[in-house]
């Protein structure tokens, strides 16, 4: 049986992308409330990037557009989180 390296690549991307929901669920259960941890966004970005590459290699326009637009959201959330952390640090230095 021939091993399709791109199929394995895509499956790894899907595994990473799906893992974000498991991590989010576990963190929410621990906090006893809905909670989105920082690692959720990093897993989203990593898994989404791998899946975007896979979609491009497979020449799947619908999948490519879906993954590319998702990456914008994941990256923007990381920017907003970083900005908030910097503001929080700056505010605590003046307290």
**Residue 50: what pLDDT?**
98
pTM: 0.86
Question: Nearest to residue 67, comparing CAs of 25, 14, 8?
Answer: 14
Tell me what percent of the residues of the chain surpass a pLDDT of 90: 86
From residue 71, alpha-carbon distances to 31, 46, 56 in Å are 27, 9, 14
∠ Cα 24 38 26 (to 5°): 20
Taking a C-beta distance cutoff of 8 angstroms, is the pair 43, 20 a contact?
A: yes
């Amino acid at each position: 049986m021939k091993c399709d390296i791109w199929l394995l690549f895509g499956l790894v991307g899907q595994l990473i992308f799906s893992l974000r929901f498991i991590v989010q669920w576990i963190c929410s259960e621990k906090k006893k409330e809905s909670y989105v941890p920082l690692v959720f966004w990093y897993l989203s970005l990593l898994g989404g990037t791998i899946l975007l590459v896979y979609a491009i290699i497979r020449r799947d326009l619908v999948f490519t557009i879906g993954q590319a637009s998702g990456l914008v959201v994941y990256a923007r959330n990381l920017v907003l989180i970083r900005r908030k952390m910097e503001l929080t640090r700056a505010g605590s230095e003046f307290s």
